[in-house]
């Protein structure tokens, strides 16, 4: 067991960094993840700490969450401590192995960090994945602030080894991106004995042995739920109203109670160990309440469990999802509103509470290869003829370029089902390189295998850019050979910054039967690149107003953010923002854009 000793220093950390520190101090040996907001900051921070402390952690920047989960399980089965990190929707991909990891259990501690996203601030959906904990029969914690994240992760490793089960920790975007003081607890790490002892009864799950291990798991988790005390009561203890919270809503509720002057009337019970609920602890605090209100975001995960497990103690009126929405982010203003109405307090919103942020559509960065690629698709096929399948990633930042946006690989998957029924339209599926290697390749193989016509466009910007520029497999894998070996009818690679060439290729392929892949390559504008640096130092584009015909092709259709309209309603290029990609020069039909060479005075 790890010995934890106190440390007097206080550090400053955000939620992702707190997880990284906790992993380091818990002696994590193996880290596997698939990057996704809001937990994409954990991996770079832990890599930095690993180098700084010469720790020798093995990293698996996995191509998808399924293989990340299996590899973390393997490390723990060998006695290593592992950490598995993904965003909420990634849990769907990892669910297959995680459904059964509890049957076999783990030896080294395994902690699963999942970033949640109520309000879908950085996701295509706000799926409530708490239910997976019940499905997997794994303990689930939901810390509410930075220190609690750190402490919870450290303690989760102890619990994981005690129960021989992975332990899940959910963190929302709000706490991941929040920054606060952190009191670290440094660990004296014991030498570990790695090894794997074959054990058929434990590791071979089929038929009778699967049922037996399932029963043992259910009994183990139920027993832990009876005993665990992962909750805290705030207030005098005998108030007539009890508000039960978890996660983000907890801090909001504490603020609202104070703001509304309800400290004498309301106790707050915050549950951190949210699955299974701490039954005996909650049983102490439920009786003798006139009314109980569950304030939690997304589904009524606590409300549902409490009604199932402790129904006999709920004597007063009980409310929750009948008053608190199960959708959107439950902000401090919403919590205050709900609590004020529930308690009959006359409360007027401060204007700041209801501050409306103007809605803005996303856009690509200046010099982004996707700007040119989408421009090329739009130019190649008229709007009334084209159907574009979209995919998750930075290629979907302007949300209305594609016709749907759903989940990883929804572009390539939906397109192959749609195309047989829309013979007179050009259906183009799109997706980034990250998505392609995540599961898109399988979808392309599926189209080949089943003779489903498909035109798939891969936007390869040479990194998993949306989540922090993790290394893309397109750097290491010969994707042309790979796709040709899979049996695609044609593979064409084009330069992302040559939109006219891309348009020609798309036009040539749009109506062909068979499976065709167009691979559009061009580095993300945010990746440091000597060619780009050279261009920025030596070249600059300029729009000549006298030649410009105001066709708006560069300003509205291409929509590079560096191209602006000035006070004289003339288009001009903001050279501070321009990345010198040259695409505007390529597409201007009137040759109104000129690329100038900056003459080096030393060489004149």
Give the footprint of ligand SF4 on this chain (CB under 6 A): 366-367, 541, 543, 548-555, 560, 562-563, 571, 573, 578-584, 588, 590, 592-593
| CB of 363 vs ligand SF4, minimal distance in Å | 12
Report how far residue 576's alpha carbon sits from residue 598's, in angstroms, rounded to the nearest whole number: 15
DSSP state of 244: E
Least Å distance, CB 559 to ligand SF4, is: 9
CB of 596 to ligand SF4, least distance (A): 12
Minimum CB–partner distance for residue 551 and ligand SF4 (Å): 4
What distance in Å separates the CA atoms of residue 167 and residue 112, rounded to the nearest whole number? 6
Residue closer to ligand SF4 by CB (options 189, 553) is 553
Burial of 319 from C-beta contacts in 10 A (0-12 / 13-18 / 19+): middle
Q: How far is the CB of 508 from ligand SF4 (least distance, A)?
A: 24
CB of 552 vs ligand SF4, minimal distance in Å: 5
Helix, strand, coil share (%) of the chain residues, nearest 5: 40, 20, 40
Task: Give one DSSP letter per residue of 381-440, joined into a string.
Answer: S-TTTEEEE--SSGGGSSTTSSSB--STTHHHHHHHHHGGG-TTSEEEEEEEHHHIIIII
SS (H, E, C) 72-119: HHHHHHCCCCEEEEEECCHHHHHHHHHHHHHHHCCCCCEEEEEEECCC
SS3 for 126-150, per residue? CCCCCHHHHHHCCCEECCCCHHHHH
Nearest CB to ligand SF4, comparing residues 188 and 576:
576
- Which of residues 156 and 562 has its CB atom nearest to ligand SF4 in the complex? 562
> To the nearest whole angstrom, how small is the minimum distance from the Cβ of residue 563 to ligand SF4?
5
Nearest CB to ligand SF4, comparing residues 112 and 579: 579
Nearer to ligand SF4, 105 or 499 (CB): 499
Sign of CA dihedral 374, 376, 382, 387: negative
* 64 versus 395: smaller Cβ distance to ligand SF4: 395
CB 469 to ligand SF4: min, Å? 19
Q: Which helix (H) or strand (E) holds 293?
A: strand 291-295
Nearest Cα residue to 14 out of 157, 183, 182, 186: 182
With a CB cutoff of 8 Å and minimum separation 6, the contacts of 92 are: 127, 129, 407
Q: Tell me 602's DSSP state.
A: G
Nearer to ligand SF4, 187 or 581 (CB): 581
Helix ranges (DSSP H) in 487-575: 499-509, 530-538
Q: Are 29 and 59 in contact (CB under 8 A)?
A: no
- Nearest Cα residue to 87 out of 170, 152, 153: 170
* Smallest separation (angstroms) from ligand SF4 to the CB of 592: 4
Distance, in Å, from the CA atom of 342 to the CA atom of 262, rounded to the nearest integer, reads: 12
Interatomic CA distance for residues 578 and 562, integer angstroms: 5
Judged by beta carbon, residue 423 or residue 530, the one nearer ligand SF4 is 530
CA-closest candidate to residue 137, choices 220, 38, 77: 220
Q: How far is the CB of 591 from ligand SF4 (least distance, A)?
A: 8
- Say how far apart CA 266 and CA 258 lie, in whole Å: 10
Q: Which is nearer to ligand SF4, 74 or 398 (CB)?
A: 398
Q: Closest CB to ligand SF4 among 407 and 562? A: 562
Q: What's CA 6's distance to the chain center, in Å?
A: 33
| CB nearer ligand SF4, residue 381 or residue 560 | 560
The Cα 212–Cα 604 span in angstroms is 83
Minimum distance from residue 510 beta carbon to ligand SF4 (Å): 24
- State how far the Cα of 9 lies from the Cα of 198, in Å rounded to an integer: 44
Nearest residue (CB) to ligand SF4, 204 versus 551: 551
DSSP 3-state of 168: strand
Closest CB to ligand SF4 among 115 and 499?
499
Least distance in angstroms from the C-beta of 501 to ligand SF4: 16
- Select 522 or 541, whichever has its Cβ closest to ligand SF4: 541
Q: How far is the CB of 383 from ligand SF4 (least distance, A)?
A: 19
């Amino acid at each position: 067991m790890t010995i934890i000793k106190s440390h007097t220093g206080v550090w400053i950390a955000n939620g992702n960094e707190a997880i990284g520190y906790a992993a380091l101090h818990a002696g994590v040996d193996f880290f596997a993840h698939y990057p996704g907001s809001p937990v994409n900051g954990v991996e770079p921070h832990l890599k930095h700490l690993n180098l700084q402390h010469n720790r020798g952690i093995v990293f698996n920047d996995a191509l998808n969450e399924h293989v990340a989960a299996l590899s973390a399980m393997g490390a723990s089965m060998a006695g290593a401590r592992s950490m598995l990190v993904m965003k909420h929707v990634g849990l769907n991909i990892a669910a297959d192995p995680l459904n059964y990891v509890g049957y076999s259990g783990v030896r080294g501690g395994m902690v699963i960090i999942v970033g949640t996203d109520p309000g879908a601030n950085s996701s295509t959906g706000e799926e409530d994945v708490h239910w997976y904990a019940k499905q997997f029969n794994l303990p689930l914690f939901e810390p509410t602030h930075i220190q609690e994240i750190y402490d919870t992760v450290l303690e989760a490793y102890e619990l994981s080894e005690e129960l021989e089960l992975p332990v899940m920790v959910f963190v929302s975007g709000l706490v991941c991106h929040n920054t606060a003081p952190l009191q670290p607890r440094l660990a004296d790490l014991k030498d570990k004995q790695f090894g794997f002892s074959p054990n058929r009864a434990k590791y071979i799950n089929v038929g009778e042995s699967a049922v037996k291990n399932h029963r043992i798991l259910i009994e183990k988790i139920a027993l832990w739920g009876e005993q665990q005390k992962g909750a805290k009561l705030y207030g005098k203890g005998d108030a007539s109203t009890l508000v039960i919270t978890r996660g983000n809503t907890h801090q909001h509720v504490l603020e609202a109670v104070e703001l509304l002057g309800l400290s004498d009337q309301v106790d707050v019970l915050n549950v951190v160990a949210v699955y299974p609920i701490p039954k005996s602890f909650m049983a102490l605090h439920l009786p003798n309440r006139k009314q109980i209100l569950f304030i939690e975001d997304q589904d009524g995960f606590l409300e549902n469990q409490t009604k199932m497990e402790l129904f006999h103690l709920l004597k007063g009126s009980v409310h929750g999802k009948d008053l608190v929405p199960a959708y959107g982010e439950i902000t401090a203003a919403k919590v205050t509103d709900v609590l004020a109405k529930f308690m009959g307090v006359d409360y007027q919103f401060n204007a700041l509470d209801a501050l409306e942020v103007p809605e803005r559509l996303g856009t690509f960065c200046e010099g982004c290869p996707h700007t040119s690629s989408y421009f090329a698709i739009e130019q190649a096929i008229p709007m009334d003829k084209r159907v574009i399948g979209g995919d998750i990633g930075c290629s979907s930042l302007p949300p209305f370029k594609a016709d749907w946006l759903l989940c990883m690989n929804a572009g390539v998957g939906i397109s192959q089902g749609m195309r047989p029924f829309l013979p007179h339209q050009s259906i183009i599926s799109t997706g980034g390189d990250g998505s392609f290697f995540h599961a898109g390749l399988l979808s392309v193989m599926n189209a080949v295998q089943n003779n489903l016509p498909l035109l798939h466009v891969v936007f390869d910007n040479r990194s998993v850019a949306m989540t922090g520029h993790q290394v893309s497999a397109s750097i290491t894998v010969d994707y042309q050979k790979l796709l040709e070996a899979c049996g695609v009818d044609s593979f064409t690679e084009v330069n992302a910054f040559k939109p006219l060439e891309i348009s020609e290729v798309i036009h040539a392929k749009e109506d062909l039967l068979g499976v065709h892949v167009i691979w559009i390559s061009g580095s993300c504008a945010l990746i440091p690149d000597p060619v780009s640096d050279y261009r920025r130092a030596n070249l600059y584009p300029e729009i000549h107003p006298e030649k410009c015909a105001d066709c708006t092709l560069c300003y509205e259709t291409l929509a590079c953010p560096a191209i602006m309209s000035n006070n004289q309603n003339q288009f001009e290029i903001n050279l501070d923002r321009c990345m010198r990609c040259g695409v505007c020069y390529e597409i201007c039909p009137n040759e109104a854009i000129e690329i100038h060479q900056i003459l080096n005075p030393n060489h004149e």
